[in-house]
Each structure stands twice: as C-alpha cells, then as structure tokens.
Structure 1
Amino acid sequence: MRPTSLALLLAAASALPAAAQTLTMGAGAPSTSLDPHFFNAAPNASVASHLFSRLVERDAQVRPQPGLAQSWRAVSDTVWEFKLRPGVKWHDGRDFTADDVVFTFERAPNVPNSPGGFGGFLRMVERVEVVDPLTLRIHTKAPHPLLPVDLSYIFIVSRHIGQGATTDDYNSGRAAIGTGPYRLRANMAGERVEFERNDTYWGPREPWARATWRVIANDSARTAALLAGDVDLIDQVPSSDLERLRRESRVALHQIQGLRMIYLQADFSRDGNLPGITDNAGQPIATNPFRDVRVRRALSIGINRPALTERVMEGTAEPSGQWLPPGVYSYNPAVPPPAFDPDGARRLLAEAGFPQGFRVTLTSPNDRYPNDARTAQAVAQMWTRIGIRTEIQALPWSSFSARASRQEFAMRLAGWGSSTGEASYAAINIIGTYNREQRRGASNAGRYSNPTMDALVDRATTILDDGERERVLQDVIKVAMDDMAVIPLFHLVNTWATRRGITYEARMDESTRAMAARAAP
C-alpha cells in the first residue's frame, strides 16, 4: 500500500457511502477456533487479530511494532520491562491492566486439546513481575534477546472473562472479548466470522464499519466470487488464475515473498507398523523406514522441486532446501535445494534395505495451502518412479490438523511460516523434541527428535550479539537438514486480489485481515 496519512485514510473512509463501509474477505482456509490460544495456525491468527491485541504487534514485513505495550527495554540480561498503553478498554468496557498479561501467560501454553499451541513462545519466561497496573517486568531463565519477537505471537485475553472460560466459550462468542479493532458480531464455524468496528479501539480508527471473514475453500469459486462482486478481496489466489486476473481491469493483485515453507514430515513416533506403510505385498513393515536417514534422503532427492514450482505452482513458489527463504536473517546459503537425483534415490533405498521400495500413503490437506493436494499428487508420482508406491489421502483442514496432531499419518504434507523472520521459530515448534514441560515441539506432529539441534537452539536463543546468534542459527539449519528432519519443497509467494478501488498491504506472514485493506485514495 502506498504511504498515506491517517487523515487521508479517514477522509477516504468518510467519503464512502454506507454500503461501501463494509468489507467482505474471501479466505481459502477456515479458522478452526476463536480461542486465540487454541491452535497456532495462520487462519486462526488472521481472525483473532481482528478481536484481540498483542503486547508487540508486527508490520507487513513482520518487524516488531508497539501494541498493548508502548515500549520495552532490557533492564538486564534476563529482565525485560514493558510499559503498557494507558486507557485501553476491553470490548465490555473494563480496563486492560498488567494482570491480564499475567493471566494470558498462564493460560496460553495450557489450553486443553490444542493441536499445536503457543508454549514455545513462553518457554524462556521464568516469572512475570507486576510493578504497577501499566508496568511489567518479565524475568527470563537465561538471556533471551528474542523475547519481544516471541511475544508478538501471544494474543492477550482478559482475566475477568477468561478465568474458567473454555475454548467452546470463545467459539460461542461469550469469551471472545478482546481489545482489538473489531468486535464479534457472529461466528458460523467453518463458514464465516462477522465483525463490527470497535469505536473505542486504542489504535487508528478502522474505515470499515463491518467486516466479514468468509471461507471459500474452492479455488475457482473464490475467484468467481471476487469477479462477481460477492467479496471485496481474496487470499490464496489460485496460480492458474493469476494471468487472467492480471488482465482483468476490475481487479488488482498484491504480492510479496512469503515466509511459508511447504514441506513433508515423516512419523518418528513409533518403531514400526506405521499406519499407511506396507511392503509391496501389502504387509506391515516391522521397522519404521523413516528412522533411517538414507530413506529420508532418498525421498528428498527423488523430488523434482523445479518441476513442482513451475508446473504445479505455476511460478508462485521457489524451491527450497530449508525452512527460510533467501534474504531472511539466519538463512544458511550452504543449504541449497537438493538436486533431483532419482538414480541416487534408488541407490540409497537399496543401501537402507529397500531395493524394491515399499508402499506409503501421503496425507495432505485439500483446502489449506495453494495447490496442496495437487502438490502431494505430483510428489506421489515422483516417489512411485523411484520405487516408493505412493497413494494420496486428501482431507479437509479441520480433519487433517486434528488427526495429524494424534500421529495418525505416516507421511504428511504441511506448511510452516517462519513469521518471526529467523530460524528458531521452526526449530523450536515443528522440529524441536516434543516436550510439554519444556514447551518445545508444540507443532511437531512427526515427533522428530535431535538433542544436538535442540542444544544448539537453546544456545542460539541466549546469544545477545546478532551476528554470533545468526551463525549459530545457521548451524541449527545445517544440522537439521543434514538429518532431513523435514523435507522442504518450496516457499510460497503470497498473493491477494482485490476489486478495483481497494488496496491491500501484502503481508509476509500471509495474514488476511480487514486492517490491511483500505479504499484506494
């Protein structure tokens, strides 16, 4: 979005007729809950960002910005002081205070039945000291320079509403009382969430009196809805429609290099008899083939990544060999995308004791990421050619995410956006050894474990010097990728399409939110 003063934005908004002060967003994936601590997934965060605020917010380039905290500073190596914003009100009119932050930190890591929670962001917090109602001192277990970044992922909820409230209470709207720019009007799970402007919001006044976050999972239906004027903007623009939309005078496109890696994750949770794994005769395999790094490497080099990005993604993704894209802090240039080598893959399988290969079911969502099921199908064809006879199981996101968290899949396609803009986020949450007490591995559905990598992450996140920390984080990437902790495929380019007359500030964290949309000046 071009730089525009707040005055001009407000003038543009006030010039709109009443009907134009509503915004309808067409989202490609559903939010699974209005509980902002239930599931660390991008659609959930997109919806929650309308209702709730965080101590530290993030701009479109994921840089930390003041939120409910006006300022913060390191008092010592292990103590951070946060000055809270005065005059902030909850949607029910009560005052926001430091005690709400204390309650949030207690609640966020401990939500029952969470398929992937927020404990990793608070794992370094030892205790929270309330100096006064608007001053907090957060004591960490060791020096932790990334604390403000971590806190930009924790939505703050109130103690007076949240004490004793369940996830169902948030979903029903009873507990969905935040300090965000919008209030909840209605929630139709899996279909739409309706908002109305919060006129007592602590930040800039929103131009949209009402906003709707509408789920349109089908790609062609999402594009059709935009062209028909049923929605004002859509996310996850289908790659097959990009050229058509570029030529369409009624539509504008908004793009940015994304941080989301699409990857494959094997199950490491058991020794053998994995669901969806058999020998070529259809009999269970007594040992888990994925625990042999040679098998994992064979699967990786058996994938033609340039073919995936060119033919399946149609130029809307870049091949990757790690979980960060080039140009991001702690990206390791020594870990390029693996070269396609089907002959080498067959040799590795033979060395691992599978000269004839085996059968596997690759499970993928079919409504979460751009071309997710199509990508899985293309990988299946490539693996079948190297001797791994692969079948696809494609599921709706709501079912996929719940079952993946229960380790029901031998191999799954998933996505992870490193929206902290550095390597530790993924290393702690999707690759780190699963440990609830240490608040590590909350989204590690495959239960991969590498103590050497864990120790490097722990060391890196205590280093105050940015250059030295980056070098250790690059070592983290090298250790994890040498061991094929996950199999990266590519990084997405994030794309939104809007009707003419609306601009959208494209975000690296792929968040779809009314606050990024404005009437064109």
Structure 2
Amino acid sequence: MACAMALGASAANAKDLSIGLGSEPSSIDPHYHNLAPNNALVRQVYEPLIAQGPSQELLPGLAESWKPINDTTWEFKIRENAKFANGDQVTVDDVIATMERVPNVPRSPASFAQFLTGMSFEKVDDRTLHVKTQTPAPLVPNMVSVIAIVSEECAKNMSTEDFNAVKCDGGSGPYQFTEFKPGDRTVMKKNPNYWGPAPEWDTVTYRYLTNGPTRVAALLSGDVDVIENVPPTDIATLKANDDIAISDTLSNRVIYLHMDQFRENSPFITAKDGSPIKNPLTDQRVRQALSMAINRPAIAERIMDGAAVPAEQVLAKNFFGTSKKLEPTPYDLNAARKLLADAGYKDGFKLKMHGPAGRYTNDTQILEAVAQMFTRLGLDVEIETMPPSNFFTRASTGDNGQPEFSLILAGWGAGTGETSGSLRSLMGTFDKSKGSGAANRGRYSNPDLDAKLNEALKAVDDEKRAALLAEASEIGFTDLGIIPIHYQTNVWASKNNIDVQARADEYSVAAGMKSK
C-alpha cells in the first residue's frame, strides 16, 4: 500500500515532470553532435522546419507548409505566429543563418552537414524560403527535418560552449533550457511564447541515470516519474506491477560493428605474438567470417531478454528503402573458420575491441558476448569500454583527425526515418566537403554503393527511390561495410498515472507524456 501511494501521488496534479535518461547528452548545442541523446533534448527547444511524429512521419513544424515548385526548388512557408523564447518573430533570416552555421561547428564528432549537401537557401520574403538543389532532390523535407532552427543571433554569435551555458534564448519549441549540468541533469521550463498548444508540464528535469538498475530503482522509489531504456531483465517484472505502465515500440536503431578499413596496419590488431600484420579487416572474407561468428539470436534472447530483433541492414524491413532480400547472417562457426583460413588467418590474430559504456542497452554485455564469439573463432580478443563522450571523440577523430580504433561497437538511429541518411553516414565514402560518411568510423568505401545511393537521392518517384536504396543496402551489407547485430526495442516505464508516447527514434519527449 505504501508503495502504491509513493508511485501514484506526485504526478497526477503536478506540473513538474522528472525523467530518468539512459544516456547522457554530450552537448545541448543543436548542431554540435548528431547523437540521439542530444537530439532528443534540443528539438524540444529548437524546432526543425518539419517535425517528426512517433513513427518519424513528417509533420508541420516551424514551417506550416512545404511543396516543390519545380524539379529543383522546394518552397517552405514559416508560421506567422512562430516566435522564439525571447519574443522575437521567427523569420527566414533565422533559418538561413542556422543552415550556414551547421557545417561550421568546430570539433563536431558527427556533423549535420551531410543532410544539407547540395542545397542552397534563398529568402523570398520573411516567411517564404526556397531551398534549391542542382538536381531533383525529393528527400529535402526529410533532410531538413533533422536540422534544429535557432535565432540568427545565436547562429552567428554563439559557440558550443555558449549553448551549453544556456546563453541562447533563440529557440521556438515548447520548452526552453534553464540548466545543463554534465554528469547530473538538464532542466527545461515551458516556453511562454510557443506557437502551439501549451505543454502540460511547467518544468521538466532530465536526470542522467545511465545505470539500468539505478533507473528502475529511481522509478520505483518515486524519485522520477518516467524512465527510458528499461533494462530488458526488468521488463516482465515492471509489467506485472500495477503501479507501473509500460510503453514500447520497435526502434529505428541498429547496433553494429564498425571496422577499420582504411589503414594497412590497424593500431589494435597484431599477430598473436604481438608482431605487426597487414590489417585483416580490409579483406571481405575476414569481415564475413566475423559476421558468421556472431550468434545474433542468442544475443537477442539472452543478452537483450527478447527486447531486440536480429539485424541484417541499417533499418528493419518496415521502414522505407530497406531490402526485402537481405537476411541476418546465419551463425556458422565452422564456415567462419574456413573463411578466416582462406583469407590467410588460419591461426587467427590478436584484436582489441572498443565501445561506449552505458550508451546503448546492455552495450558492455553485448561487446563481451561478441568478444567471446570471436574467441571461439580463434582470435585473441581484449575489450575496452569508456564513457560515451570520450569514446565517440576518439572513435571519430582521435588525436590526428582520424578514427583511432580498429573495431568498435556502436549504434545508429535513422534520423530521417528512411535508409538514405543511415547509408550515407555510416558507409558512404568519407568526404567532409560533400557531407558523406559523417559517421563512417571505419572509412569503408565502395564506389558502387556511392553511385547507387546518389542515384537514389535524385529519384523523384518514391517506388523507384525505394528500390534503389534497397539495392544500395544490398551492395553495402553483402560486402560487410559494417556488421549489423540487432535492432533495439524502445521501452519506457512510468508511474501508472502517466501515459508515455513510445517513439521509434527513442526520444523521451515531454510533450508526448500526459497525466491520466
């Protein structure tokens, strides 16, 4: 009885909401790092032109409407009643200043510039924006849906450090930041100038509770009202608790392995005696052997307690542009050993794998399981995990501007809700000037994939574009540009008097949480 009172008393009449996050954001600069924990917070404060719904369907955001006016021009109409938190009107000048800032954020671990490749922005009047492309670009609405708009003042004059110090009041979303304390919390308050329906919660506190059992304990004790990323081992118990409500949906996130495919000698790979060897990961047979050595169903059932689905590409087949032909690589240790021997590594090699600790559901346990599977293949494997912010910096740019590691565990959520952005980011040939390969931490390069992807991005017909994207997926995943492991299931738990809107993008959006 006491437990029921503790769980049910605080939220029904309250205007404050506390949410336990499974991952900590690296910044609240909306253009610094294309990372889900960052995006989930900043897009409640800095809106995109086009919003995304729970299934990543496109919805009016700052733009009340959009349409193509010819093959290479899209027109966006800014809301007449859209204002920033400081009361200033949102105009096309703010949008253009934002788009100019995006590719120029210093030290960005994963830039948003890739989404704006080939676009130019022209002001027609204060409310009318034209986005021009050199060739037909049907995905312009999808691409701009991931770019958070800030005021011209913030775009031109504020650094990442300024954003993190909550100096920018140029956001038009339902909330505005009041605190950003790394290692502790982010706090938002209701934006009094928001153009849309006022959100229910006056103040929202996001607490960083990266340890799963700690998040569950915080919910059960009443310290927080909602938790995301429920540990799979706790789902059944929480479902059986009448004081708790569960919300879930299939994620747009794939958990995968990225492999060094650009260095002749990879820094964390040697022969078993420690002597240098040619980087084996550049051999497709070795990559295939590694993929075949992974028992995906075992990881999904045992490590993820059923809250995952074995993966074969960047997105599950219900998303746009996926291949219906690809299937998860079957577990076959004998065939994997033969492939390794055929590639000249009969005795295996020594490998150190890296990953983030606490960024993804059970990420350390998954890395440990994969390491054990590679050991059975005949490799000598060591793992090292580290805080996500340190990991992603080293995995992306290291000390010399190049990815530092040989093989990493990571995850990727499809920000655009279809396959092109994921393929371009993760397996497109790295080219900063073109925005390709922004998160290609293995520097995989396949001209056939690049060509097919570029063709798809110009295809106006949806059916044709979907077919081309499927072909691009087949090229990249047959060649094992990355090794997919599984898709996560996104699970939230809340006090039973709060309804949580489950989202494919994993975002814990306060406006999507209602008291019952």
- What range describes the TM-score normalised by the shorter chain of this pair? over 0.9
Whether 2:441 is the aligned partner of 1:448: answer: no
> Are the structure 2 counterparts of residues 472 and 115 from structure 1 closer, same or farther at C-alpha, using a change threshold of 3 Å?
same
Match for residue 46 of structure 2?
52
Match of 2:202 in 1: 209
Using the TM superposition, give the Cα deviation of residue 17 of structure 1 relative to its aligned residue in structure 2, in angstroms: 8.3
Which residue is 2:55 aligned to?
A: 61
Q: Which residue of 1 aligns with 2:303?
A: 312
Deviation of 1:476 after TM superposition, in Å, equals: 0.2
> What per-residue deviation string (whole Å, max 9, x for no partner) do you get for residues 75-102 of structure 1?
0010001011012221112221001111
- Check if 1:326 corresponds to 2:326: no
1:363 paired with 2:349, answer no
Cα contact 1:51–1:176 (8 A) shared by 2: no
Cα deviation, 1:265-297, whole Å, max 9, x if unaligned, reads: 00123111x222111112222x11110001000
In the aligned structure 2, how far is the partner of 1:371 from the partner of 1:386?
Answer: 23
Q: Which residue of 1 aligns with 2:413?
A: 417
Give the counterpart of 2:21 among 27, 32, 44: 27
Aligned twin of 1:4: none
| Distance in 1 separating the partners of 2:296 and 2:176 | 43
Alpha-carbon spacing, 1:18–1:314, altered in 2? closer, same or farther (3 Å):
closer
Aligned to 2:138: 145
Q: Take 1:503 and 1:299, find their aligned partners in 2: how far apart are those partners?
A: 42
How far apart are the structure 1 equivalents of 2:417 and 2:172? 26
1:123 matched to 2:114 = no
Q: Is the 8 A contact 2:257 2:409 kept in 1?
A: yes
How far does residue 176 in structure 1 lie from its aligned partner after superposition? 5.2
Deviations 1:5-45 (A, max 9, x none): xxxxxxxxxxx989711000100100100100000000000
- 1:319-357 Cα offsets, whole Å, 9 max, x none, are 011111022222212110011111111111111111100
Which residues of 2 match residues 340-419 of structure 1 at below 5 A?
340-406=331-397, 407-419=403-415
2:184 paired with 1:188 = no
> What is the aligned partner in structure 1 of residue 270 from structure 2?
278
| Aligned equivalents of 1:322, 1:188: Cα separation in 2 | 36
Provide the residue aligned with 1:499 in structure 2.
Answer: 495
Consecutive unaligned residues in structure 1, runs of 5 or more? 1-15
Report the equivalent of 1:112: 106
The secondary structure found in structure 2 opposite 1:20 is coil
Q: Which amino acid aligns with 1:221?
A: T
User: Are 1:226 and 2:226 matched, yes or no?
Assistant: no
Per the alignment, residue 42 of structure 1 pairs with 36
Shift of 1:174: 1.0
The letter of the residue matching 2:309 is E
- Give 1:162 shift: 2.4
User: Is the contact made by 2:12 and 2:515 (CA closer than 8 Å) also made in structure 1?
Assistant: no
1:50 is paired with a residue whose SS is coil
Matched, 1:102 2:96: yes
- 1:509 matched residue in structure 2: 505
Instruction: Please point out which of 250, 254, 267 is paired with 1:257.
Output: 250
Asked whether 1:472 is paired with 2:465, we answer no
Q: Deviations over 1:465-521 (max 9, x none)?
A: 11111111110011001110000000011100011100000000111121111101x
Q: Corresponding residue for 1:168? A: 161
**Equivalents in 1 of 2:281, 2:11: separation in Å?**
59
SS at 2:157 equivalent:
coil
- Cα distance in 2, alignment partners of residues 236 and 414 from structure 1: 16
Instruction: Tell me, yes or no, if the aligned pair for 2:321 and 2:420 is still in contact at 8 Å.
Output: no
Matched letter for residue 86 of structure 2: D
Question: What fraction of aligned residue pairs are identical, expressed as a percent?
Answer: 40
Q: Equivalent residue for 2:6?
A: none
Deviations 1:90-149 (Å, cap 9, x if unpaired)? 111222100111111111122110000101110030x21111000011101210111101
Q: Which amino acid aligns with 2:43?
A: S
**Which residue identity does 1:251 align to in structure 2?**
I
Indicate whether 1:85 and 2:76 are aligned: no
> Would you say how many aligned residue pairs link Structure 1 and Structure 2?
502
Aligned to 1:3: none
Alpha-carbon distance in structure 1 between the residues aligned to 2:104 and 2:441: 17
Is residue 12–residue 497 contact of structure 2 (8 Å, CA) maintained in 1?
A: no
Deviation at 1:358, TM superposition (A): 0.4
- CA distance in structure 2 between the partners assigned to 1:202 and 1:323 by the alignment: 35
| Corresponding position of 1:158 | 151
Where does residue 483 of structure 1 map in the other structure? 479
TM-score by length of 1: 0.95
Q: Distance in 1 between matches of 2:134 and 2:162?
A: 33
The CA deviation string for residues 128-183 of structure 1, in whole angstroms up to 9 with x for no partner, is: 11110000111012101111011110000111222131110100111253111112
Whether the 8 Å CA contact 1:256–1:508 is kept in 2: the answer is yes
Q: CA–CA distance in 2 between the matches of 1:347 and 1:39?
A: 41
Q: Which residue number in structure 2 is paired with residue 246 of structure 1?
A: 239
Which of 172, 175, 192 is residue 179 of structure 1 equivalent to? 172
Distance, in Å, in 2 between the alignment partners of 1:283 and 1:44 is 41
Structure 2 Cα separation of the partners of residues 79 and 419 of structure 1: 23
Report the Cα distance in structure 2 between the residues aligned to 1:468 and 1:64, rounded to whole angstroms: 20
3-state secondary structure, aligned to 1:137: strand
One-letter identity of the residue aligned with 2:282: R
Q: Secondary structure at the match of 1:263?
A: strand
Where do 4+ consecutive residues of structure 1 move more than 4 Å?
16-19
Compared CA separation, residues 167 and 353, structure 1 to 2 (3 A): same
Match of 1:288? 279
Letter in 1 for 2:474: K
My pick for the range that moved more, 190-199 or 488-497, is 190-199
Instruction: Provide the C-alpha distance between the structure 1 equivalents of 2:35 and 2:351, rounded to a whole number of angstroms.
Output: 27
SS of residue paired to 1:400: helix
- Ranges in structure 2 where 5+ consecutive residues have no aligned partner: 1-9, 398-402
- Equivalent position SS for 1:180: coil
CA distance in 2, matches of 1:177, 1:71: 22
